[in-house]
């Protein structure tokens, strides 16, 4: 093979190598584009999954159409979502702005001070959906009653829920006759419920879980009775079927809320 043939062969081999390299780069570019496209789709899907489902708040017209029975059922449904871990995704920033000029909640919840009970989450409610009053032991007093009257008579809420819970510290303190600062006076509101279940068998201290449970339930019932007895407005509204007053018990282990009327 003379030098011209060798030069021609070398030139042909170089052209083949350049062509192969170009094809490799083209394939890599296609793969990169495909990967980027797939990544973009996944990011879009992820963004869609995180997009808030609820951006609005309850209106006066919607509130007025609700019945106490419908509101109670919505709380039951919300609690089921809480238990299942499928809480509604909400855009709280948007809801805050939309609720700034007025509020039309569905219900008033009287709950214990306990930090382990995130009331709005327990019922899967958002901004503007419910009024929440808190006091250790979830009992009523003049201030709470006035707040409930405002929530129902003035603001239009259709349901009052007295929410007790498992392993309540205030209930245990009332059972054990704890005396400490202003806590002593506060517990006087709960002690009548303790007296109602004194006949229970076994240990009469807070170490008796069954005693604690029964006093908790009795305290809820007693609070419901007191709301009806001490508030002419709320009692009349319930008699007129404008509102309903119910009790509830929150299970700390499962997150399940059990409702009862009496």
**Residue ranges for the binding site for Zn(2+)?**
112, 114, 165, 168
Nearest to 106 by CA among 86, 120, 92, 94: 120
Per-residue DSSP letter, 152: I
Nearest to 161 by CA among 120, 190, 215: 120
Q: Which token pair is 190? A: 């709960």
DSSP labels, 109-132: EEE-S-TT--HHHHTT--TTTEEE
**Inter-residue contact 205 to 224 (CB < 8 Å):** no
User: Which three-class secondary structure state does DSSP give residue 225?
Assistant: helix
Distance CA 136, CA 163 (A): 11
**Binding site, annotated residues:** 112, 114, 165, 168
User: Which three-class secondary structure state does DSSP give residue 229?
Assistant: helix
Per-residue DSSP letter, 138: -
Nearest to 125 by CA among 159, 154, 170: 159
Distance CA 247, CA 236 (A): 18
Distance CA 36, CA 59 (A): 44
Element (H, E) at 259: strand 257-260
């Amino acid at each position: 093979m003379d030098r011209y043939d060798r030069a021609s062969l070398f030139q042909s081999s170089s052209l083949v190598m350049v062509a192969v390299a170009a094809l490799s780069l083209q394939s890599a570019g296609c793969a990169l584009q495909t990967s980027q496209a797939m990544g973009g789709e996944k990011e879009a899907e992820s963004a869609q999954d995180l997009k808030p489902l609820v951006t609005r708040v309850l209106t006066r017209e919607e509130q007025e159409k609700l019945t106490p029975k419908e509101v109670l059922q919505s709380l039951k449904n919300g609690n089921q979502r809480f238990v299942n871990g499928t809480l509604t995704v909400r855009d709280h920033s948007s809801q805050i702005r939309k609720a700034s000029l007025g509020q039309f909640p569905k219900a008033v919840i009287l709950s214990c001070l306990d930090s382990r009970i995130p009331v709005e989450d327990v019922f899967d409610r958002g901004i503007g959906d419910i009024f929440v009053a808190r006091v250790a032991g979830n009992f009523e007093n003049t201030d709470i009653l006035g707040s409930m009257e405002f929530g129902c008579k003035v603001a239009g809420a259709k349901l009052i829920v007295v929410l007790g819970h498992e392993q309540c510290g205030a209930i245990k303190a009332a059972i054990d006759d704890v005396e400490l600062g202003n806590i002593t006076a506060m517990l006087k509101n709960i002690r009548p419920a303790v007296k109602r279940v004194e006949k229970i068998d076994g240990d009469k201290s807070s170490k008796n879980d069954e005693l604690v449970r029964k006093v908790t339930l009795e305290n809820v019932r007693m609070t419901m009775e007191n709301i009806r007895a001490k508030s002419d407005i709320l009692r009349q509204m319930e008699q007129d079927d404008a509102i309903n007053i119910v009790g509830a018990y929150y299970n700390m282990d499962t997150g399940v809320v059990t409702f009862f009327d009496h």
